[in-house]
Each structure stands twice: as C-alpha cells, then as structure tokens.
A and B are shown apart, each in its own frame.
Chain A
Amino acid sequence: MKNLPVINLISATIIMVFFPSCAGDGWGLDEYGNELDSLSAAPSDTNGTPPNVDNFEIIQNTIFNSICAIKCHKSPRPKKDLNLEDGESLNYIVNVPSEGKPLMMRVKPFDPENSYLVWKLEGRDGISGKQMPLNKTPLEDSQIELIKNWISMGALP
C-alpha cells in the first residue's frame, strides 16, 4: 500500500498525457459532429406546395436558436435526444415520436393539437416533465401561435 500514491500519480499522468489528443479531427462531419453525407433532408413536400421558408426560418432563428439550443437541445449531447440546432431541428421533430408520450409525434404535420411540441410549450396536462423552456419564462402566445401555424401549414422546411 505504501507505494500506491506514486503508482496512482504515474497512472494519472499517463492518462493525462495520452488522452488529450482524443478530440476529433472533424473529417467528413458538420460543425455539430454529424456525418455530412447522412444529413437527411427535412421531410419532403409531397403535395407540391412551395415550402414556407420564411415561417420556419423565423421559428428556427427566434425560438430554437435563441432559446432552446443555447444550452440544452444542442450537439453533442442534446437533452432528451432532441437537437434543435439550425439544420438539425427538423430531423428531430417532424414525425418523430416524443419521449414523454411515444404515441404522439413531436410535430405532427397539419395537426398542432396533436403535436407534443405544442403541449410541452403550453405546459398542458399530460406532459411528461416540465413545461418548456425549462426554468425560463414560457414562450409568448404569439411565438406559440407561430409554431402552431407552421405545423398547420404542414411543418414544411
């Protein structure tokens, strides 16, 4: 036992010397660490309707980027496996089963009342966990309306 502190110190030094090169070189990845060629496109518009770019861009920029993806719903460890970063969010919400209520989609196109994202933002009865954003002021009604409208229009990219 007498030599253990020395052995441990040597072990720790070895770890510290060897490990600090483990950060990825990022080859073939986007800035969040996802494979560039696996970045699936957002749900396609099967009805031939022109995508409502402005609507979703506003949501992404003013809500997801500004509130949700600052600390929690972001790579590389998005909370509840829900990444709301720019370029990622649609893949994680549209027609993706929610964790809190797996029978509900996070976003069900054309159906905001049955989209779990809306339930969580409004803090409705029946949600798992707390109203989002966690420990922050709830979104303004106009912001939630924007999301509901976007879903009503088909949740297009």
Chain B
Amino acid sequence: MTSLFTIYTANKYSLKIILMAVFLFSQLLTAEPYIAVRTGLKCSSCHVNITGGGKRTEFGNIFIQRYLSSNFVSSKGNVNFSPQLSRFISLGGNLRIRNTATYGYTHTDTAGTKTSAEAGNFLDITEGNIYLEVKLITDRLTFYIDQMVSPNPDNREAFGLLQGLPGRGYLKAGKILLPYGYRLWDDEIYIRESTGFTYSDPDIGLEIGFEPGNYSAVAAVTGNQVSAVASWVRTHYRLGLSWQKATDGSNINMIGIFSGFNAGRFTFLGEIDQIELAQKRNEAYFAEMNFLLIRGLNFKITYNLFNPNLEIPLGRDGQERITFGIEVFPIQFFQLALFYNLNSFIPQNLEFNQNSLGFEMHFFF
C-alpha cells in the first residue's frame, strides 16, 4: 500500500497537509471519545463494550451522574439512579432527537445558469437504543444485547463476552461493531462514513483483545474482513493505529492513525485514514478541539476533510466540513447540543454546500 500520508508537493495545498500532520504528530494531538481523552480513561472504563459505545458500566453510570453534568438533581434519599434490575442484570439506553435546519445554496455556472438547493427543516430520532447486560459470571462471562428500537427496530449488537484471559484479554463473539479508529457517535463524520466503520455497519464475527497496562490491542475477524486497532493510552494523551483488510477478494483496504491529547480545559482529537478501493484511493481527515468552560458546558470545533480521489488534486475535488458546537449537560442523564455545520464541496454539487444548524436533545443512562 502506498504511504499513508502522501504529501501533494505538486499542488498548493502541501502546506496545509503538512500542518495537519504537524498538528497530529508533534504534539500528539489528536464525539464522545473526547470524554475518554479528557479523563485519560480507556473506553472500557465506562462502556461494557470494551471498544466503546453502547451500555455504560457501573463506573460509567456513576460518572455521568456525578461528574459529567453541571448539576446533580437528587432523587429521594439522595441516592444515585441504578439501571440494575438485579445483581446480575442491568439495562442502558440512548435517545437522541435532532432538529436540523438546512440553508439554501445557489450555484451560478460559467454560462450564467443558476441552480439552487432549497432550505429545509427535518426532525428525526437519530438514535433510540436499549441495552441489556447479563453478567453470567461476574467479570468473566457476559451476555450483551444492543437493540435499536427507533427509528427502525433492528439489532445492532448481540454478543457473548469472555473476560479474564491472560494479558487482561477478552474474547467477544457474535454480532459486533468492528474496531477501527475513534468510535464517534456521528456516522456522517467523514472518517467514519468513508471507512464504513459506523454504528450502522455491525457484522457477525469474532473479536479478541488485550489491555495490559497502558496498552490496548484489538483484532476482529468476520466473513469478509479483518480489522485491528492498537493504542497506547496515557493520562493526558493517546496514540493509536487502525488497519483493515478485506478477505473476500474485493480490494478494500484501510489504514489509519488517531491520537488524542488533553491539556487543562482543552481536549484534542485527530484521525487520518487512507482507504484503498477497487478503482481509487481516498483519504479522510478529522481534527477536533473541545474546551470545557465549566463542568457540564463544552465548546467544540470539528474540522473534517475528505479527499475523494488521490488521483485528482485536492484543490479540485476536496470536501470539507467545519462544525461549531455547544454541548450542555445541565443535569444527569440529559444533554443539549447546538451545532452549526459549514459545508464546502465543489460548487456544482448543491447538497454538500448547504450549511445546517442542528439542535439535539439526548437522554441516556
């Protein structure tokens, strides 16, 4: 495979690519993963699914009640809510309701012809999931279900998890979200959409992982691909590599690097992926800066860049999105978010030049 971080010395964007690389590597800079980077914790500290996402652990539930929100509204007796139905069975859930307003966009071609994309407004349930965790043998054997109930009923994950292997190892088998890069909740972020490692792309397979000390190594095998992630996690920074190879004869291969860094109230994430398809290669870039003003109030700027075809200079076919957002956790189990997406693509494409304003309510436990 060609070197991942190809520098396009022949075009005027070389400096920008280099700056991006500097941003990622020289300071180890690098969605909800920002919370893991901010706290210096592995995904498995707060999520039952060791590679992140889905149901929270008991620690994760205490964390979202006592440390994530700006206020703690106590129930009678000042006790923490517990999602445990019994000592061995517990539930979890996520519900996101989003209103997106898209702005109109007009393009005038060289002949003076105008084409327009109309403004619109959409109200959606973007995530409605219920999780079930059954601890068959505490800390050794777990039965886990991640069921989407809205907008369309469907099973997202269903696996058995065997823990306690040497090297803090585990084995997971069933329908799983395959490991690759940061598991961001927004499937439309370029690094997730272009690689196909999204919440809407689970597969049936086997996953094995080891988490000794500050290290983590995970590999998964399905009927048509193999993917693996290796990462090094320290309190203030982390660095990881992702890799994927198709095993079904199709020529789809990927490699990526991701990193995260926390400094005071600032938290940075970054990821670059190169995707090799049958007919072309492309690259996706992601950089995010979070600023925690006070507990429960986070400002976010995200930069996304996509190079759809490495054979065509980025200056001709590049696509980018910059997102400015505010996230508020006013009370436990509740999040409000306001995001403005600044979209830019080739001017003749109307849809991907429409900016949008999103407002989201998120209930979770």
| Max count, chain B CB within 10 A of own CB: residue among A1, A11, A30 | A11
Sample (7) of A-B pairs whose CB atoms are under 8 Å apart: A11-B27, A12-B23, A19-B303, A19-B305, A29-B346, A102-B249, A135-B200
Q: A89: shortest Cβ distance to chain B, in Å?
A: 14
Residues of A within 8 A of B305 (CB): 19, 22
B250→A5 contact, CB < 8 A: no
**Docked complex Cα distance between A136 and B249 (Å):** 28
A16→B309 contact, CB < 8 A: no
A53 located at the interface, meaning its Cβ lies under 8 Å from any Cβ of chain B in the complex: no
1/0 per residue, CB under 8 A from A, across B314-357: the answer is 11111110100000000000000000001011111110100000
1/0 per residue, CB under 8 A from A, across B299-317: the answer is 0010101101100101111
**Docked complex Cα distance between A127 and B249 (Å):** 15
Q: How many A residues, CB 8 Å from partner? A: 45
Residues of A that sit less than 8 Å from B by CB: 1, 4-5, 7-9, 11-12, 14-16, 18-20, 22-35, 75-77, 79-81, 97, 99-103, 128-129, 134-136
> For chain B, what secondary structure do more than half of its interface residues adopt (helix, strand, loop), or is it mixed?
mixed
Contact check: which of B203, B248, B263, B314 meets A99 at CB < 8 Å?
Answer: B248
Residues of A within 8 A of B246 (CB): 99
Q: B265: shortest Cβ distance to chain A, in Å?
A: 7
B312→A35 contact, CB < 8 A: yes
Q: B223: shortest Cβ distance to chain A, in Å?
A: 6
Query: How many residue pairs, one in A and one in B, have C-beta atoms under 8 Å apart?
Result: 151
Q: B150: shortest Cβ distance to chain A, in Å?
A: 11
B154 located at the interface, meaning its Cβ lies under 8 Å from any Cβ of chain A in the complex: yes
Residue of A nearest to B309 (CB): A33
Residues of A within 8 A of B80 (CB): none
Q: B82: shortest Cβ distance to chain A, in Å?
A: 32
Interface residues of B in 289-304 (CB under 8 A from A): 289, 301, 303
A76→B308 contact, CB < 8 A: yes
B16 located at the interface, meaning its Cβ lies under 8 Å from any Cβ of chain A in the complex: yes
A99→B224 contact, CB < 8 A: yes
**Docked complex Cα distance between A25 and B346 (Å):** 5
B316→A28 contact, CB < 8 A: yes
A77→B194 contact, CB < 8 A: yes
Residue of B nearest to A92 (CB): B279
Residues of A within 8 A of B312 (CB): 24, 29, 33, 35
> For chain A, what secondary structure do more than half of its interface residues adopt (helix, strand, loop), or is it mixed?
loop
B166 located at the interface, meaning its Cβ lies under 8 Å from any Cβ of chain A in the complex: no
Contact check: which of A20, A26, A77, A136 meets B306 at CB < 8 Å?
Answer: A77
Contact check: which of B190, B250, B350 meets A77 at CB < 8 Å?
Answer: B190
Contact check: which of A8, A20, A23, A134 meets B29 at CB < 8 Å?
Answer: A8
B363 located at the interface, meaning its Cβ lies under 8 Å from any Cβ of chain A in the complex: no
Contact check: which of A4, A30, A102, A135 meets B248 at CB < 8 Å?
Answer: A102
Q: Contacts A97-B250, A135-B152 known; A31 to B301 CB distance under 8 Å?
A: no
Residues of B within 8 A of A18 (CB): 15-16, 19
B308→A33 contact, CB < 8 A: yes
**Docked complex Cα distance between A28 and B246 (Å):** 32
B316→A25 contact, CB < 8 A: yes
Residues of B within 8 A of A129 (CB): 203
Q: A97: shortest Cβ distance to chain B, in Å?
A: 7
Contact check: which of B250, B264, B308, B346 meets A31 at CB < 8 Å?
Answer: B346
Q: B146: shortest Cβ distance to chain A, in Å?
A: 14
A22→B196 contact, CB < 8 A: no
Q: B215: shortest Cβ distance to chain A, in Å?
A: 23
**Docked complex Cα distance between A128 and B312 (Å):** 32
Residues of B within 8 A of A101 (CB): 248
B118 located at the interface, meaning its Cβ lies under 8 Å from any Cβ of chain A in the complex: no
A12→B320 contact, CB < 8 A: no
Contact check: which of A30, A97, A135 meets B348 at CB < 8 Å?
Answer: A30
Q: A68: shortest Cβ distance to chain B, in Å?
A: 15
Contact check: which of A20, A79, A134 meets B320 at CB < 8 Å?
Answer: A20
**Docked complex Cα distance between A85 and B345 (Å):** 17
